[in-house]
Structure 1
Amino acid sequence: MRSAEHTIWWHVFPLGFLGADTTGTDRTPATRLPALISWLDHLLELGANGLALGPVFDSSTHGYDTIDYFRIDPRLGTEADLVALIDAAHSRGIQVMLDGVFNHVGPEFPALLAAREDPSSPEARLFAQTPDGGPVTFEGHGGLITLNHGVPEVATLVTDVMTFWCDRGVDAWRLDAAYSVPVEFWTTVLPAVRERHPQVYVMGEVLHGDYVAFTRDGGLDAVTQYELWQGIWHSIADHNFHELDHALGRHNTFLEAFVPYTFVGNHDVTRIASQIDDERHLPHALALLFTLGGTPSVYYGDELGLHAVKEERFGGDDAIRPAFGASRDEIDGAKPEVFTLHQELIGLRRRHPWLHTARSRTVAVGNDTIALEVAGPEKALIVVLNIGDGEVRTSGAGTFLAGRDAGLDGEDLVVGPHGWAIAEATA
């Protein structure tokens, strides 16, 4: 499992997806998690085989202000409900990932309450302090108190949490805000977790910086590929494929060391359908996600072409973390053709599993067009994207695999205005 070679994740934010109140006003216990079981068929129909869950542990509001790592949030259900979801997923061949919020805790975390009551208590050692003895907050958020990753008690806590839930069937972890945790901390935690669960896949949330050093020095399997996310949507929205070309060069260097976790949307960013103003160009972003090297993730709702904008305000994430009903037929704004396109492209990737570690080479690039050769050890694909008003021709193409407003003219792959194409490369 650790290589995630054949895994494509469907990423869900449970508190939002299942309609829980995330303001902290209504924390009435409810049995919501079982409703996710009925969505596993949707996951499989999409072509995915991994369920990446946002925070599920007991928290005060939005899931990232943890109260108890060993208890499922009562707004979602119980430990038994999560285990039942994991078992249902496993019975269908689906892996399950949890969100490990180990950089910080919420204001109701019991050890924090004890430390505030008695600063000389043993619990006080668990929390980072400013020079004047005050708490360190995560990026200025007063409700998120940073743990002290320099003491063994915190390493033991995180090790125990990860092992506890792996014992209950969890296959993988996303390490939230991993970029804020000293990288050496993970070397004190992950070996102990893997001693008991050697196949666990661990991916860290890292926004920028030295991805290679982070995975190497921390012992992680992967980190989030935000550079590629930015390069994909921004180059399309701004009609500047030179930006993508630069990002792909960086992406190739990362692939030499590890396989990044790739995406065009998640719970923290404006949806891809809203990032790209011209709906004709959404398929171009998806073609890149599913042909470039990496372990792809699809954020729930993106496969339906939903629109939503993240706003920097209280509740500004609500639009990108919506509640879903019992089926996709009940979702306002859902576009069946976008779901079908995801199926087509994921199916293509499944038929070419070597794409997991494939490197890309830019054959030609302009502001409105880019032609790529995406190659494995023995095979290669030609990917051509056109967001301009002219026609594009690329030589060296064999069998036509997928595309819109495109086709073959001999060994030339011809892509019309605002079209895209994927073809096998000739030897």
Structure 2
Amino acid sequence: MTTPDWVDHVVWWQVYPLGFAGAEKAALPEQAPVQHGLAKLVPWLDYLVEMGASGLALGPVFASETHGYDTTDYYRIDPRLGDDADFDELVTQAHARGIRVLLDGVFNHTGRSFAPFRQALEQGPEAATADWFGITWPQGWTPGTEPDYADFEGHHHLVALNHAEPAVADFVADVMKHWLRRGADGWRLDAAYAVPSSFWAAVLDNVRSEFPEAYFVGEYIHGDYPADVLAGQLDSVTQYELWKAVWSSLAEANFYELAAALERHNTFLDTFVPLTFIGNHDVTRIASRLDPSGRLAHALVLLFTLPGTPVVYYGDEQGYRGIKEDRAGGDDDIRPSFPASPDELSAVGQPLYHLHQELIGLRRRHHWVHAARTRVHTLANEQLVYEVYDAGHSLFVAMNLADTSVTVQVPAAARDVLAGAGGLDGTGGRLALQALGWAVLGPAS
């Protein structure tokens, strides 16, 4: 298994389409006209490119009951988002701009209206699809009797698939190939941590036989990431450990937490390149966590100067705020609708958007960072200096979280300020940083 070369250069812009398009919260009535939410993304593709990104990572787009993670038909675009023609046009327009497209596959569980599950409920233990699910049939089952069944983490409306059933593996592989044939470039595998690694290995071996250039990243929250990647034959997993360390160390002014996470991050890079992020559709907005402290820019610097495949969650580049809450509808605030075109955005977000452009541009000029390593040179609660390096290349990043200016020690090789602001002394080795300042430095040009 070899991760496709194009992944070395991609920067994703992640969008939750149902929210972006302002779609209804629940599936449309059967006879309702199709809405065309995916078409609303097309005017934003140039915005994505102008930011410097080169990939569009879509949240769920398939027919579902409510939020997209309760899929009912994996071969059909959700009518709230359009139809096959809308999907084809979005992919065509994206590819014309050099933008890769990543789909979100919910293959651990389904919605209750998923046809094979309805068939099992209606026909009972003898149904052809009965073994697709972990159903506990009552003795003497009769039609109309609701059996118990395995679900996803106690959410009974999310029906867990039986991943030991070969027909389920065949089905998932066929779904993946269907949309790859229509132009998708890869898959994010939702709740991959809840699925046996042997299932992913079998499915992805099947899919890669036809699509060797496809990219597969699993959603993992914690655990032994390298072992999961190897066992599941994945390309990558979501780096939640680093996400937590970034916002927490900045919010609490504790760079020791981040330094420990960077040591772990280096060990992961020996096996795979993680998917790195500071925001997504499941977590409180990074601006809500950090903007009041004046430390939001530091999070962006970390995202784009640390090794990994970076993801920008839509709206984060404009400073959108939103708090995730543990209640029904608690994700709505972090999955907002967007205006019809970038021209309608508030000017308030432009400075942050321009900072994204600057840092992504820096990242593109130093694309080797993708699979590099890091080492810490200066460490205190409120100050950090680290180096990103591989054979023949280095960048140095210095940060100050204090409300007063400081002078920090930097390696003598750090000679030119490439981004941010810092005053190097004439002989090198000392860098003045303003309050809440940061700087990215390179060797002498």
TM over 0.5: yes
Is 2:234 the counterpart of 1:220? Answer: yes
TM-score normalised by L of structure 1: 0.97
Is 2:432 the counterpart of 1:414? Answer: yes
Is the contact between residue 394 and residue 414 of structure 1 (CA under 8 Å) also seen in structure 2? no
Equivalent of 2:70, from 65, 71, 74? 65
Q: Measure how far apart 1:333 and its partner are.
A: 8.0
Is the contact between residue 328 and residue 334 of structure 1 (CA under 8 Å) also seen in structure 2? no
Q: Measure how far apart 1:24 and its partner are.
A: 4.4
Equivalent of 1:179, from 169, 189, 193? 193
Q: Measure how far apart 1:113 and its partner are.
A: 0.9
AA paired with 1:2?
Answer: P
1:233-382 residue pairs with structure 2 within 5 A? 233-331=247-345, 334-382=348-396
Is the contact between residue 117 and residue 130 of structure 2 (CA under 8 Å) also seen in structure 1? yes
Is 2:19 the counterpart of 1:16? Answer: yes
Count of residues in correspondence between the two structures: 426
Q: Measure how far apart 1:20 and its partner are.
A: 0.2
- Structure 2: distance between partners of 1:153 and 1:327: 43
Equivalent of 1:79, from 63, 77, 84? 84
Is the contact between residue 74 and residue 175 of structure 2 (CA under 8 Å) also seen in structure 1? yes
Task: List runs of 5+ in structure 2 lacking aligned partners.
Answer: 139-146
Equivalent of 2:182, from 152, 162, 168? 168
Q: Measure how far apart 1:414 and its partner are.
A: 1.9
Equivalent of 2:150, from 136, 139, 142? 136
Is the contact between residue 279 and residue 313 of structure 2 (CA under 8 Å) also seen in structure 1? yes
Q: Measure how far apart 1:390 and its partner are.
A: 4.0
AA paired with 2:4?
Answer: R
Give the structure 2 partner of residue 391 of structure 1: 406
- Structure 1: distance between partners of 2:81 and 2:93: 17
The CA RMSD over aligned residues, in Å, is: 1.6
Is the contact between residue 405 and residue 432 of structure 2 (CA under 8 Å) also seen in structure 1? no
Q: Measure how far apart 1:123 and its partner are.
A: 1.1
Is the contact between residue 251 and residue 293 of structure 2 (CA under 8 Å) also seen in structure 1? no
Give the structure 1 partner of residue 144 of structure 2: none
Equivalent of 1:126, from 132, 136, 142? 132
Q: Measure how far apart 1:277 and its partner are.
A: 5.0
- Pick closer, same or farther for the CA change 1:177–1:256 going to 2, 3 Å: same
| Secondary structure at 2:102 match in 1 | strand
Equivalent of 1:149, from 155, 159, 163? 163
Q: Measure how far apart 1:279 and its partner are.
A: 4.5
Give the structure 1 partner of residue 441 of structure 2: 423
AA paired with 2:46?
Answer: D
Q: Measure how far apart 1:334 and its partner are.
A: 4.5
Is the contact between residue 101 and residue 175 of structure 1 (CA under 8 Å) also seen in structure 2? yes
- Pick closer, same or farther for the CA change 1:50–1:377 going to 2, 3 Å: same
AA paired with 1:382?
Answer: F
Higher-Rg member (1/2) = 2
Is the contact between residue 237 and residue 277 of structure 1 (CA under 8 Å) also seen in structure 2? no
- Structure 1: distance between partners of 2:347 and 2:260: 34
- Structure 2: distance between partners of 1:407 and 1:329: 37
- Structure 2: distance between partners of 1:359 and 1:26: 52
- Cα displacement string for residues 323-353 of structure 1 (whole angstroms, at most 9, x for unaligned residues): 0012234245851100000000000000001
- Pick closer, same or farther for the CA change 1:327–1:144 going to 2, 3 Å: same
- Structure 1: distance between partners of 2:238 and 2:337: 25
| Secondary structure at 2:227 match in 1 | helix
| Secondary structure at 1:278 match in 2 | helix
Is the contact between residue 306 and residue 334 of structure 1 (CA under 8 Å) also seen in structure 2? no
Equivalent of 2:109, from 104, 107, 124? 104
